[in-house]
Amino acid sequence: MNIFRLYKRSFVQINLLFLSFIAGVILLAYSQRIPLIILFWPPPTPYPLSKWLFTHTFQILCSVPPLICAFTFFLLNKLIPNHPKNSFFFVSAVIMGLFWLNEIYRFHIILLSFGLAKILSILVFSMVFCAYLLMFWPQFRQTKYWIFALGIILLFVAILIDTLHLKNDELASVLEGIPKLLSEVNLALYFWDTCQKELLQTFK
């Protein structure tokens, strides 16, 4: 009964939180005279069907690491509050979640209108990411970190190709898109494997 009440309270709190967020955004948009209808516009329907296929696939794959890391953190933190890897899964969820949000909302492109160069955004995120790696290197060493490393290397290859500004747009898109897509495949596989093994070991 107590567990039921706990989940019922959490359910209400989460819904109230999102309702407050929606109301806040609507009020902000109204104050800026932004048409409210654009907040609820559906995403464009791809035509032909192959349009944005790999882009949307990449965005879907980006959702895997933060979601499973968040699930692993909340489960372990609920059942084993002092679990040694709680902070690792929490910070991983935040870092990978920020990356996912950036790929959807394109914050690094929006910042261009404020005079912040794209390379600056990349450098800031890279510094945060390096700090994350250094902080949790002992935890990474206990996992199949070579899969994670492969994903990051492929991502940096894609970023490097993007910075070259190749004149052939079609070639540039393919050369950047393939390693970028494969990078997220490997990052999703890494966190899936890591979270799964941690949960299985914990609840043996």
**For the residues of 171-201, what is the DSSP string, one character each?**
HHHHHHHHHHHHHHHHHHHHHHHHHHHHHHH
**Is 62 within 8 Å of 103 (Cβ atoms)?**
yes
Per-residue pLDDT, 6: 53
Domain coverage including residue 26: 1-41
- 55 lies in the same domain as 118: yes
- 92 lies in the same domain as 28: no
Per-residue pLDDT, 5: 62
- 16 lies in the same domain as 66: no
Which of the residues in the chain have pLDDT under 50? 1, 3
- 113 lies in the same domain as 14: no
Looking at the structure of the chain, the number of domains it has is 2
**Alpha-carbon Rg for the chain in angstroms:** 20
Residue 153 carries which side chain, given as an amino acid letter? I
- 130 lies in the same domain as 189: yes
- 106 lies in the same domain as 191: yes
- Compute the distance between CA of residue 101 and CA of residue 106 in angstroms, rounded to an integer: 8
Average pLDDT, the chain: 91
Per-residue pLDDT, 78: 87
- 70 lies in the same domain as 166: yes
Q: Considering only CA atoms, which of 57, 58, 65 is closest in space to residue 191?
A: 65
- 122 lies in the same domain as 77: yes
- 68 lies in the same domain as 88: yes
- 115 lies in the same domain as 149: yes
Per-residue pLDDT, 121: 85
- 21 lies in the same domain as 84: no
- 116 lies in the same domain as 24: no
